[in-house]
Amino acid sequence: MLVSNNLRNAIFRLLWNPRTQRALDGGAFGRRVVESRESSWREEAEGSILLKAVSHWRKDSESWFAGSYDRLPETLRVNPHTPDKEWIESWLDGIGASRTPWFSGPGSAWEMPFERGSAIGEIKNIMTALHDTGRITRQESVSMLPVLALNPSPGECILDLCASPGSKTTQICEHLGDTGAVIANEVISGRVNTLVTNVQRHGSRSAVVVQHDGRHFPKVPGKGFERVLVDVPCTGSGTTRKNPDVWSKWRPSAGRSLHSLQFDILRRAIAVTKAGGRVVYSTCSLDPVENEAVVARVLAEGKVRVIPSRELLPGVPSEYGVSDWPCLDDSGEPSEWDPVDENLMPPLDEEISSQLGGCLRVWNDAIGGGGFFLAVLEKTPESGDSSETARIPFPSPKQYIDPDSFPRPISQKRKTELENEWGSSPSSLWFRGKSLLWSTDEVMEIWESDRTRKSGREIVPGGRWRPLKVIHLGLIAARLRKGNLDRIVSKASRRLHEEVSGPFLDVEGTVIDDILRGLEPHRNTLEELGDEERGSRILVGPDGYCLAVWVGSRVTPMVSESEKTVMRAVRGLTTDSREEE
């Protein structure tokens, strides 16, 4: 099989370094290095156990292979809540990007006219700045499907049980706007940090980042969640276009070893969902053992039913779930099921088997991207934890006291300070360390609500987060210095301007343009300032654009380079201030 130009370019990027470049300049040696790597990679793919396994999961495995080979295109979402949405979409259209036709969520989704990670020049600079400032989110197209199937509504309380790195969490936030709550959970500390970074980058008020083992997630809020997303750890057999190592490393035994973990996480997701609520289970695996077998196992417990997924996602190139699959050994060949593998086998119960067709399979070649699986489950009202609701819980003997590192609602003293400084105090403000955090009324309701533990036998009063371990919440609105209010954070300025007067100064658009060009105008430019006033201010142009600055004898910007890059581009200035000087 011939290697595509896309693959060849990807390999060149992988191998490039100064020494290799010198060799390539010399010609023969460099060509031999690249051709050797191309050949070995192709041999790994064509002789892989994964390809053999796919031949037992569908008839035309050659078609799948042809669509699972080249590097993925760059794909992204546009944040519907950014005031620059129309400009961004016009810019994307102008550089040859195309809208994802089946994307039905708020905002928009786009496929770029180049491979993932290969943008160059000004396009790369603007894309990086748009992502860093939360205006867009780079995300694989098929990864957007679970949230579209979840279909969150403003004001709802949602759980993202396996949330890191956070692209689905931020997508849920875009459905909610500045309402509702998204409890974004991750168990591994390093991945928690990534999740927090992406939530902060996105700038949503509705997100709450927590750290728990998903198999034992606390039932907080006590009444349960309206919707739960369960994008479980998996073998990633559908990610060959993103992770070429899958070709050589994937084995059927890996899926069997993950099955119990996947089932336990999904089972807990169902337990913390309200009766009548929705659970979306998803993987980037093609293996039925990680997909339909897990769904069949929770169906057998009688607490959920499958909602046909294809009806919820019109236009998505997909196939129905399967109800029969072979046992494969680690050579990819069919073998006999072991009696201990009963949970991995196709279900014998016709009622369960008939529901599996309502799951959704996305094959790489059909969608032109990654492979994916999802199932939409509804918790049946008759299974609404009647055993728990029938109990009268007693107060928990354990004292749940939140540590100082947890966010807390601001005090009355702080509210008074904000009213004096800003003219009013927005609702749902919290403090943690040196930051004021702005959240939603629904997040405050979770904190205030009573919750139960030990299957409803004990009640823990509200006014705390425990037993939740909260790492971060909401939008960082302002910074504190020595316990006192210091400055509004740039990312929150535009939304705060709708609610408070505070440190906002109306200026001509040319003042903002000059500062973005790298000039530092004299403080006298800001006519509303008193002679002795110094410190942080937010300049507001006639178009509503906000620019955080520091006022001393001169006026200097207090925003990131990425924010300045976007503001220059939107305002028709060169994206590099040095070129303006």
- Neighbour-count burial for 78-87, b at 16+ CB within 10 Å, e otherwise: bbebbebbee
CA 254 to chain CA centroid, Å, is 25
The DSSP bridge partners found for residue 484 are 481
DSSP string, 113-139: EEETT---HHHHHHHHHHHHTTSEEE-
Residue 368 to residue 14: CA distance in whole angstroms? 23
Residue 265 to residue 186: CA distance in whole angstroms? 12
3-state secondary structure 422-452: HCCCCCCEEEECCEEEECCHHHHHHHHCCEE
- C-alpha distances (whole Å) from 59 to each of 37, 51, 64, 96, 257 are 30, 12, 10, 36, 26
Residue 570 to residue 157: CA distance in whole angstroms? 35
For the beta carbon of residue 136, count every other beta carbon within 10 angstroms.
26
- Contact indicator for 191, 217 with CB cutoff of 8 Å: no
What residue has token string 């495995």? 61
The DSSP bridge partners found for residue 376 are 280, 307
Q: Where are the alpha helices (DSSP H) in 225-363?
A: 246-249, 252-271, 292-299, 309-312, 350-355
What DSSP designation does 522 have? B
| Length of the chain counted residue by residue | 581
**89 three-class SS:** helix
DSSP string, 196-235: HHHHHHHT-SSEEEE---GGG----STT-EEEEEEE----
**H or E segment to which residue 417 belongs:** helix 412-422
State the Cα angle at 463 between 405 and 277, rounded to 5°: 100
Amino acid at 291: N
Give the residue from 303, 134, 138 showing the smallest Cα distance to 202.
134
Give yes or no: 284 in active site: yes
Considering 284, 327, 359, 546, which one is annotated as catalytic? 284
Token pair of 437, please? 């955090």
Catalytic residues: 284
